[in-house]
């Protein structure tokens, strides 16, 4: 990219990177069936029959002020709403297609106009989701896999008929009828050519040069302003060098489903948000309103409770940068600002003293974010030259001052500088994320190698960490031996599902975190070590982010857990 273009891109995305938290709204005609947004395809509902639901769609309870108010109270800074999902129904007044909320329903109001006005009033950026390739209503839309073949014959489809007569004109409408649009969220680009993808980006820019575009505009890499991770996917520390987001469900569905009552708790939302923000990402959290126009009560309750925490702790969230440590910290997470570090401590890890390894700066002052008087917390700092080891100790009050996660602010001399080597954490465990390994392929064997520092030698269990998608048979993926070499010792075993964690900070439905104990090793000396893993699951990161493209089992990391401290 040219320097001038890069400067423009950096400027364009600044508001979004500072915002951190947005509301995703999946709302469409499918809400009348209350079975999620894929109901038309799942039940192969013919277009003519599906169109009939519009005659009953009358969301009289819709109130733009209330909806924007929910986002605001949750601490969200932008709203991304489905202007058209895969069913092809436009939730705004489209002049090019009558299958829209104004022309086809008794409701007859352009609710996007109402939302745009309200967002403007309440200082929230309005953004649109637009399903640009899948459209089950239009006879000529063509996706790589998911087409309406129950009404239309695939061979008779002429993609450019759809593209020029519906998709592009509707995108133009969205960019010209509702004022400034924060971003366009495209989805499911399978089959769209590189040329069409790039032209679409230019097309959007020609109407609104500052409108952001997410990476799902195309399946070709490096198109768009930022990376949308897979649905509900939270990456590893340092996995993405550019801006990224996690689109996430509050329960297990996007569009309203009366069967889905598996809600995340406010605590889980806060933890995931902190985890995402500490890795430099944004959280785009979904609600699926009912056909009447109501955001489900349970969603509002969870969002409001999460919002109360965010309101108290916003200084450590908005406008921050990612943690400089390349691994998950066992007590929580870190965010930074110039000359400042925020330690987000999970309340169940709260103790008399918190220790942080690897911070090189002098700490000028430490205090609790919850303490309006900013009273000093006693600290000690030491450095052991022989093993190049920095240790900060912070004495803490008896009880954690906030709900779920309590924040310690460190004022630093200069901007945060840390030892970015992998090293033992305070409990003695070492987390080695795949993304930071040196990988190689030799004689059909894939290896990953990490260097790390040991400060507390001893015996360790070696644990392989994978994320496994629901309904996946583990043995289909792990049926060969994996090998670990460390300090002259070798472990060889077929990994088993020894422990299943359903809701860890970085893992959630449709994935569970699986721990496999590979065996035990002994590290006798302090200092530098290396570990090599041989495993056929080691692979370069993939670009596919839609849920059906995501791997069924993803290798994340390997851990050394000191014996007796699991
Ligand atoms: O198929 C869609 C799905 O309905 C939903 O809109 C999600 C949100 O990220 N995107 C697609 C699947 O990845």
Three-class secondary structure assignment of 378-442: CEEEEEEHHHCEEEEEEECCCCCCCCCEEEEEEEECCCCCECCCEECCCCCCEEEEHHHCEEEEE
Whole-angstrom Cα distance, residue 482 to residue 37? 41
Contact 469, 401 (CB under 8 A): no
Closest residue by Cα to atom 13, ligand 1, is: 546
For the Cβ of 233 lying below 6 angstroms from any atom of ligand 1, the answer is no
Whole-angstrom Cα distance, residue 138 to residue 474? 40
Query: What is the 9 CA–ligand 1 centroid distance (Å)?
Result: 26
For the Cβ of 247 lying below 6 angstroms from any atom of ligand 1, the answer is yes
For the Cβ of 497 lying below 6 angstroms from any atom of ligand 1, the answer is no
Closest residue by Cα to atom 6, ligand 1, is: 254
Query: What is the 497 CA–ligand 1 centroid distance (Å)?
Result: 29
Query: What is the 187 CA–ligand 1 centroid distance (Å)?
Result: 7
For the Cβ of 254 lying below 6 angstroms from any atom of ligand 1, the answer is yes
- Which pLDDT value is given to residue 564? 77
Does the predicted model carry a pTM greater than 0.75? Answer: yes
Closest Cα to residue 255, out of 98, 87, 72, 67? 87
Closest residue by Cα to atom 4, ligand 1, is: 37
Whole-angstrom Cα distance, residue 129 to residue 115? 14
Q: Which atom of ligand 1 is nearest to the CA of 545?
A: 13
Q: Which atom of ligand 1 is nearest to the CA of 547?
A: 13
Contact 208, 175 (CB under 8 A): yes
Query: What is the 371 CA–ligand 1 centroid distance (Å)?
Result: 42
**Greatest CA span in the chain, whole angstroms?**
76
For the Cβ of 37 lying below 6 angstroms from any atom of ligand 1, the answer is yes
Closest residue by Cα to atom 8, ligand 1, is: 231
pLDDT tens by residue, the chain, 566 residues: 789 889 999 999 999 999 999 999 999 999 999 999 999 999 999 999 999 999 999 999 999 999 999 999 999 999 999 999 999 999 999 999 999 999 999 999 999 999 999 999 999 999 999 999 999 999 999 999 999 999 999 999 999 999 999 999 999 999 999 999 999 999 999 999 999 999 999 999 999 999 999 999 999 999 999 999 999 999 999 999 899 999 999 999 999 999 999 999 999 999 999 999 999 999 999 999 999 999 999 999 999 999 999 999 999 999 999 999 999 999 999 999 999 999 999 999 999 999 999 999 999 999 999 999 999 999 999 999 999 999 999 999 999 999 999 999 999 999 999 999 999 999 999 999 999 999 999 888 999 999 999 999 999 999 999 999 999 999 999 999 999 999 999 999 999 999 999 878 899 999 999 999 999 999 999 999 999 999 999 986 665 666 666 788 999 999 999 997 65
Contact 183, 127 (CB under 8 A): yes
Q: Which atom of ligand 1 is nearest to the CA of 38?
A: 4
Best probe residue, ligand 1, of 87, 231, 255, 282 (max atoms within 8 Å of C-beta): 231
For the Cβ of 130 lying below 6 angstroms from any atom of ligand 1, the answer is no
Q: What sign for the dihedral angle of Cα 111, 211, 506, 471?
A: positive
For 309, phi then psi, to 5°, come to -65, -45
Best probe residue, ligand 1, of 86, 146, 508, 547 (max atoms within 8 Å of C-beta): 547
For the Cβ of 42 lying below 6 angstroms from any atom of ligand 1, the answer is no
DSSP symbol at 540: P
- Which pLDDT value is given to residue 550? 76
Closest residue by Cα to atom 7, ligand 1, is: 231
Query: What is the 219 CA–ligand 1 centroid distance (Å)?
Result: 14
CB atoms within 10 A of CB 198: 14
Closest residue by Cα to atom 10, ligand 1, is: 187
For the Cβ of 158 lying below 6 angstroms from any atom of ligand 1, the answer is no
Query: What is the 548 CA–ligand 1 centroid distance (Å)?
Result: 10
Closest Cα to residue 300, out of 342, 250, 252? 250
Output the six-digit token pair for 269.
């939302």
Residue with tokens 């090293």: 423
Whole-angstrom Cα distance, residue 421 to residue 158? 54
Q: Which residues fall within 8 angstroms of residue 398, CB to CB, at 6 or more apart?
A: 352
Whole-angstrom Cα distance, residue 276 to residue 21? 10
Q: Which atom of ligand 1 is nearest to the CA of 247?
A: 9
CB atoms within 10 A of CB 513: 19
Closest residue by Cα to atom 5, ligand 1, is: 254
Query: What is the 32 CA–ligand 1 centroid distance (Å)?
Result: 18
Contact 187, 216 (CB under 8 A): yes
């Amino acid at each position: 990219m040219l320097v001038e273009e890069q400067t423009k891109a950096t400027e364009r995305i600044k508001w979004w990177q500072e915002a951190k938290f947005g509301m995703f709204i999946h709302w469409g005609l499918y809400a009348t069936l209350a079975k999620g947004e894929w109901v038309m395809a799942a039940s192969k509902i013919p277009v003519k029959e599906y169109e009939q639901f519009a005659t009953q769609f009358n969301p009289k309870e819709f109130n733009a002020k209330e909806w924007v108010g929910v986002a605001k109270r949750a601490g969200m800074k932008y709203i991304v709403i489905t202007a058209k999902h895969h069913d092809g129904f436009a939730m705004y007044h489209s002049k090019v297609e009558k299958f829209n909320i104004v022309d086809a329903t008794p409701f007859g109001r352009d609710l996007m106009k109402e939302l745009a006005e309200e967002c403007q009033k309440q200082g929230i950026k309005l953004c649109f989701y637009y399903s640009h390739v899948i459209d089950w209503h239009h006879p000529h839309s063509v996706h790589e896999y998911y087409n309406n073949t129950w009404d239309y014959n695939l061979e008779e489809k002429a993609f450019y008929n759809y593209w020029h007569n519906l998709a592009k004109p509707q995108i133009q409408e969205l960019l010209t009828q509702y004022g400034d649009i924060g971003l366009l969220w495209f989805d499911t680009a399978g089959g769209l050519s590189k040329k069409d993808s790039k032209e679409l980006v230019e097309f959007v820019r020609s109407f609104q040069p500052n409108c952001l575009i997410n990476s799902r505009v195309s399946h070709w890499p490096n198109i768009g302003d930022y990376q949308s991770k897979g649905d509900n996917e939270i990456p590893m520390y340092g996995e993405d060098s550019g801006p990224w987001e996690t689109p996430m469900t509050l329960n297990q569905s996007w569009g309203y489903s009366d069967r889905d009552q598996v809600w995340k708790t406010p605590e889980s939302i806060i933890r995931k948000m902190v985890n995402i923000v500490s890795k430099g990402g944004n959280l785009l959290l979904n609600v699926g309103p009912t056909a009447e126009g109501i955001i489900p009560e349970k969603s509002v309750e969870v969002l409001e409770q999460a919002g109360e925490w965010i309101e108290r702790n916003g200084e450590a969230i908005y406008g921050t940068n990612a943690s400089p440590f390349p691994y998950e910290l066992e007590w929580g997470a870190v965010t930074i600002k110039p000359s400042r570090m925020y330690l987000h401590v999970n309340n169940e890890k709260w103790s008399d003293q918190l220790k942080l390894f690897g911070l090189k700066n002098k700490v000028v002052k430490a205090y609790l974010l919850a303490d309006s008087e900013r009273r000093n917390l006693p600290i000690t700092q030491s450095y052991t030259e022989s093993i190049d080891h920095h240790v900060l100790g912070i004495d803490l009050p008896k009880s954690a001052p906030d709900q779920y996660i309590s924040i310690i602010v460190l004022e630093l001399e200069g901007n945060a500088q840390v030892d970015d080597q992998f090293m033992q954490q305070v409990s003695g465990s070492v987390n080695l994320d795949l993304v930071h390994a040196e990988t190689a392929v030799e004689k059909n064997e894939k290896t990953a190698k990490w260097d790390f520092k040991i400060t507390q030698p001893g015996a360790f269990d070696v644990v392989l960490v994978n994320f496994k998608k629901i309904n996946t048979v583990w043995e289909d993926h792990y049926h060969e031996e994996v090998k670990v070499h460390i300090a002259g010792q070798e472990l060889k075993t077929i990994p088993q599902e020894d422990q299943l964690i359903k809701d860890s900070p970085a893992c959630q439905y449709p994935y569970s975190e699986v721990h496999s104990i590979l065996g035990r090793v002994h590290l006798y000396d302090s200092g530098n070590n290396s570990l090599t893993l041989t495993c056929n699951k080691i692979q370069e990161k993939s670009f596919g982010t839609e849920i059906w493209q995501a791997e069924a089992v993803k290798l994340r990391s390997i851990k050394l857990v000191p014996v007796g401290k699991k």
